[in-house]
A and B are shown apart, each in its own frame.
Chain A
Amino acid sequence: MNETTINYYVNEKGYFGDFGGAYIPEMLYPNVEELRQNYLDIIYDPSFQEEFRQLLKDYVGRETPLFYAKRLSERYGTNIYLKREDLNHTGAHKVNNTIGQILLAERLGKTRIIAETGAGQHGVATATVCALRGLECVVYMGEVDIKRQAPNVARMKMLGATVRAATCGSKTLKDATNEAMRDWINNPVDTHYIIGSVVGPHPYPDMVARFQSVISAEIREQLKEKIGRELPDYVLACVGGGSNAMGAFYHFLNDESVKLIAVEAGGHGVNSGMSAATTTLGNEGVLHGSRSILMQTEDGQVIEPHSISAGLDYPGIGPQHAHLFKSGRGEYVNITDDEAMQAGMLLSKLEGIIPAIESAHALAYLEKMKFKGSEQVVVCLSGRGDKDLQTYMDYFKL
């Protein structure tokens, strides 16, 4: 196979290889179609770009540093850089996307915003931009997650959002996503749905990837400045739906020398029945509007995943990831709950940075890699660990 002929980006039909598309009921078609027809024109309009960049700079605090982690590098015998998405306003990469989508929603004339959230990070990032722009905001969250993530529920309320419980199914992220889609069906005119990852019907996976691609655009510039070359040897990122990973990979997809490593949540282990390692446990199908890879029964019923990190507790991955996986462009691996928790502790001790447990999955994979010593390795530190303090406390009996 001639690798250079593979297109890793979206095609004109809304597909990434075999994956993507818009598998949605007719009720969602007008909204999704409106978005499809307009998103590129809006995003690449100079006034949009200017406003987007300005907000990312002055409000979010971009660019985020690319930090050479000296003690971590010594430990693994190579050169490790951390892309500090944890330093963004609201504490994770999620806000890159919500800033982009709120500006887009305004230009589409929408007055009401809905979102789904698992851990609450995307919910907080959405409530934040709605407060900033004065738009009504409703966030759907699984009943189970509302109990697990009380501080983020309180944050969303302070930011003026209404948090509605998803009480059906497993009462977690996938059900919150279903509820948000139902809301959109019932409010077809004034509402924009801010999806929180590179999932959903086309154009969402491509649109969210473009908003998050600021991560890899900055990495290239920063590496050039630091080491005189734009291309690292490895980029590592964790994958829930896959938005921080896609952002970190985006501008490297056609540079085949850059090895892209996507770390999924292994939970208690891939054979334990308590896992979210989608590419290992799943197969092709349709979830939340796109054809991708998902964990499902033989009958096509979606299987409930497990991960200690709520942000990775999702039974699918975005369609672009499914394409990178199937084409071999990306390496998809998994890390257990225990391995991630240890990696979170290690980074705290070695570098004075308490990572989100999601991000700790990416860090944990360093332990399994073999280095010669001269590699340049970038790890996307997607979020900070403040929201996970209770989990760290319970786990380490702090």
Chain B
Amino acid sequence: MNNRLTELFKHKQNNLLSIYFTAGYPELTDTLKIAKALENAGADFLEIGFPYSDPVADGPTIQQSSEVALKNGMSLKVLFEQLKDLRKEINLPIILMGYVNPVLQYGVEKFCTDVAAAGVDGVIVPDLPMYEYEEMYQYYFMRNNLCNIFLITPQSSDERIRKIDALSEGFIYALSSSATTGKNLAVSSDQTNIYFNRLKNLQLKNPLMIGFGISDRESFTKACGTANGAIIGSAFVKSLNEGFDEIRVQEFVKAIL
């Protein structure tokens, strides 16, 4: 079967909107409801975070949603249970995002098998290093036709970005500056312009999505001016703080697109 994510990028190269939210937040059983609402609202693909107790790359908003999700009883086991009927309801490409330790405890091989069985298309594990991925885990990702998404920042060297490009499937997750999630970043400062020009000149094989610090129509539009699309995380998670509401999700996405 084709991977939905790579298919998507074949058909659409501009203004792609991806939305991140934390599984099991604000309520344990909200995961699929939120996914469905985002599909209805017009997002292009989704990132579902599986929570971790020590999320070092995340700012306060996602730290807090992770903490609540864990208190609600979310775990990888519970998440895969919830995702059993995913493909009966939702057609969008879906990526799981989370830290390496829960994946190691679950077992990397079993994790990849269960991710694929649920109909999920890719995985982002920000603290899984390239070396270990290549040596030990790439085989399981490939065998299950999963995209593994890597992050890059303005401090990543050309050489490293090329290596990441060679190892990536789906897209490359470009941060507009080195930051934890939820910071409001200047997407169009001189420095970021230099960085995006550098990326353009590298002629990467993978599409680019800009993430971290995209929060509204203005930052989304600017990001789409330099990349294939952008990813919104903390701003959306914040909009769920008062509880999940289908209408509010609609309005959130409408305000962006």
Contact = CB atoms under 8 A, between A and B. Distances in A.
B208 to A, nearest CB: 14
A296 interface: yes
B129 A22 contact: yes
Interface stretch (B112-120, B172-180, B230-238): B172-180
Contact of A26 (B52, B70, B132, B150): B150
A306 B54 CA distance: 17
Interface stretch (A127-135, A246-254, A284-292, A349-357): A284-292
Contacts of A181: 56
A29 interface: yes
B202 interface: no
A13 interface: yes
Contact of B101 (A13, A168, A286): A286
B213 to A, nearest CB: 11
B156 A30 contact: yes
A71 interface: no
Interface stretch (B37-45, B57-65, B82-90, B139-147): B57-65
Contact residues on A (Cβ < 8 Å of other chain), bracket: 20 to 34
Given A25-B151, A286-B104, A301 B156 contact: no
Interface stretch (A117-125, A151-159, A182-190): A182-190
Q: Which of A174, A284, A301 has the most CB of B within 10 A?
A: A301
Contact of A286 (B53, B106, B127, B175): B127
A27 B105 contact: no
B151 A26 contact: yes
A320 B157 CA distance: 30
A379 to B, nearest CB: 33
A300 B102 CA distance: 4
Contacts of B104: 284-286, 300
A25 B54 contact: no
Nearest to A202: B129
Interface in A322-355: none
Nearest to B179: A186
Q: Which of B54, B67, B106 has the most CB of A within 10 A?
A: B54
Contacts of B53: 169, 301-302
Contact of B57 (A168, A185, A296): A185
Interface string A49-71: 00000000000000000000000
Contacts of A188: 153, 155, 178
Contact of B131 (A13, A30, A298): A13
Nearest to A303: B53
B127 A289 contact: yes
A29 B156 contact: yes
B56 A26 contact: no
Given A26-B153, A182-B57, 5 more contacts: A26-B152, A27-B153, A185-B178, A188-B178, A301-B102
A-B complex: 9 closest residue pairs judged by Cβ atoms: A300-B105, A300-B102, A299-B75, A188-B178, A26-B151, A30-B155, A25-B126, A301-B53, A300-B101
26 contacts: A23-B100, A26-B151, A26-B156, A27-B153, A27-B155, A27-B179, A30-B157, A174-B54, A175-B54, A178-B55, A178-B56, A182-B56, A182-B57, A182-B58, A185-B56, A188-B178, A286-B104, A288-B56, A289-B127, A299-B77, A299-B102, A299-B106, A300-B104, A301-B52, A301-B53, A301-B70
